[in-house]
Amino acid sequence: MRNAILILFFLHGSIHLLGFVKGLGLGNWKGADFDVSRWMGWTWLLAALFCWLFTGLAAAKLPQAWWIGLLALLLSQILIVCYWKAARFGTLPNVLLLAFCVSGLARQRFQERVAAAEAVIQGAVATRDAGLRRTDALAQLPAPVSRWLRQTGVLDKPPLLGGRLEQHAFMQMKPGQASWLEASAVQHTRTDEPAFLWAVDVPVKGLFHLLGMDRYKAGKGAMHISVHGLFPIVNAQGPKLDEGTLQRFLGEMVWFPDMALAPYIRWEAVDDSTARAHMAYGAASAAGTFHFGPAGEVKRFSALRFQGNEPDARRFPWIMEIQEHRVFDGIRIPSRMTSTWKLDSGDWTWLKLELTRMDYRYATAGSENNKN
């Protein structure tokens, strides 16, 4: 769809050359029973150049493209009004292209808000002392958690402070939905001071995009979803969301195994293949059970979590089933998983997720304000 609109914009710009040809007396065509002055001919050429410039900038995904596009459309429509009888049909593609430019500008603004939120999430990080971790801390952990940490390879690395990860997903927006929506997401996670920012882009039938941002910072959660960044449809916060986002953060320990040693995590032994983690941060608390396989790998995470943020929202079992592991930067973590709600009406597997990239952030000794 995007490429088709860019081609349309290029062709639309090219049609403006007819006014340039007419104005400079370079040619004529059947039905061109109107006069174009020389300077107006150059204006038609300028409109064509702006359209072409926009096409190139937009194809290169440069942020200046949308403003150039709006300028091109403004100039084009002024010319169309001036020559309404001959050029009025050019208004229709201009309206379509205007919607495309406004949508692109809104998406750009959304990305700028994500970048600003990311900067707040990352901030200045404190250094975790490698000498305080590992041997003594491992001895205090339940046996399956200790085995898990050893098999991940994280113990051979400097302490983790968080990381940036990319995801490819298939989602269902409600139980019983017949089709799956494909989505891409980027997440920034910080583990020394619990926080994350998740930005997702969900194309819907090639017609529009749902843009979402989930955030957890300083013990508070927030969720924002909009159509193309223009029309908000979800703007949620409150105690239930605080608890729900904390619960999610706890479950995502599977991607940041070092969290198992963090002072804000308390472990409870269950049996030789299961352990329960407790976490309290801010005014909210969370707990969840980690299930491990015979080789020590994490296989499942289960918790009671609020399903929704409405006043009557209830906690339901929330299950992450891990299907595959991969090694990222020497650390073996889950790469494919599903997320399922166990509702009164039955199981709802709403998410199929693949982790495609992980860039870890490590502590550097002596760097109190490390922003790497």
Q: 201 is written with which tokens?
A: 């882009």
Residue 221 lies in a domain: yes
100 and 136 inside one domain:
no
225 and 351 inside one domain:
yes
Residue 213 lies in a domain: yes
Q: Are 289 and 298 in contact (CB under 8 A)?
A: no
Residue 131: which domain range? Answer: 124-362
**How many domains is the chain partitioned into structurally?**
2
Residue 168 lies in a domain: yes
89 and 153 inside one domain:
no
b/e per residue 191-209 (b: at least 16 CB within 10 A): bbbbbbbbbbbbeeeeeeb
11 and 143 inside one domain:
no
b/e per residue 67-77 (b: at least 16 CB within 10 A): ebbbbbbebbb
221 and 253 inside one domain:
yes
Residue 115 lies in a domain: no
222 and 358 inside one domain:
yes
Kindly give the confidence (pLDDT) of every residue in the chain, 372 residues in length, as a single tens digit, with 9 standing for 90 and above: 677 888 888 888 888 887 888 777 776 655 555 677 888 889 989 999 998 998 988 888 888 888 898 898 899 999 889 888 878 888 988 888 888 888 888 888 888 888 887 787 776 555 444 444 566 778 889 999 999 999 999 999 999 999 999 999 999 988 888 889 999 999 999 998 899 999 999 988 766 889 999 999 989 999 999 988 888 888 999 999 999 999 999 999 999 999 999 989 999 999 999 999 999 988 889 999 999 999 999 999 999 999 988 989 999 999 999 999 999 999 999 999 999 999 999 999 999 999 999 999 998 754 433 333
User: If you write DSSP's letter for every residue of 42-106 in order, what string do you get?
Assistant: HHHHHHHHHHHHHHHHHHTT-TTHHHHHHHHHHHHHHHHHHTHHHHGGGHHHHHHHHHHHHHHHH
142 and 36 inside one domain:
no
Residue 292 lies in a domain: yes
pLDDT attached to residue 102: 84
Q: Are 172 and 180 in contact (CB under 8 A)?
A: yes
Residue 368 lies in a domain: no
Q: Kindly give the residue spans of alpha helices, DSSP state H, lying in the chain.
A: 2-15, 17-23, 38-59, 65-82, 84-87, 91-122, 135-139, 143-152, 239-251
pLDDT attached to residue 124: 54
86 and 47 inside one domain:
yes
pLDDT attached to residue 41: 84
138 and 49 inside one domain:
no
Q: What single-letter DSSP state applies at residue 370?
A: B
49 and 174 inside one domain:
no
Residue 84 lies in a domain: yes
Q: Are 2 and 65 in contact (CB under 8 A)?
A: no
271 and 339 inside one domain:
yes
Residue 76 lies in a domain: yes
> Residue 184 to residues 187, 198, 200, 224, 293: CA-CA distances in angstroms?
10, 11, 6, 16, 29
Query: In this structure, what CATH number is given to the domain that contains residue 222?
Result: 2.50.20
Please give the backbone phi and psi of residue 203, each rounded to the nearest 5 degrees, phi first: -70, 140
Residue 360, amino acid: Y
Sign, Cα dihedral of 226, 230, 232, 238 = positive
Helix H or strand E encompassing 318? strand 315-328
Sign, Cα dihedral of 328, 329, 332, 333 = negative
Residue 149, burial from CB neighbour count under 10 angstroms (0-12, 13-18, 19+): buried
**Coil/strand/helix, residue 368:** coil
pLDDT attached to residue 119: 80
Q: Looking at 75, 104, 133, which one is the last position of a domain? A: 104
129 and 99 inside one domain:
no
CA torsion angle 95 87 3 172 (round to 10)? 30
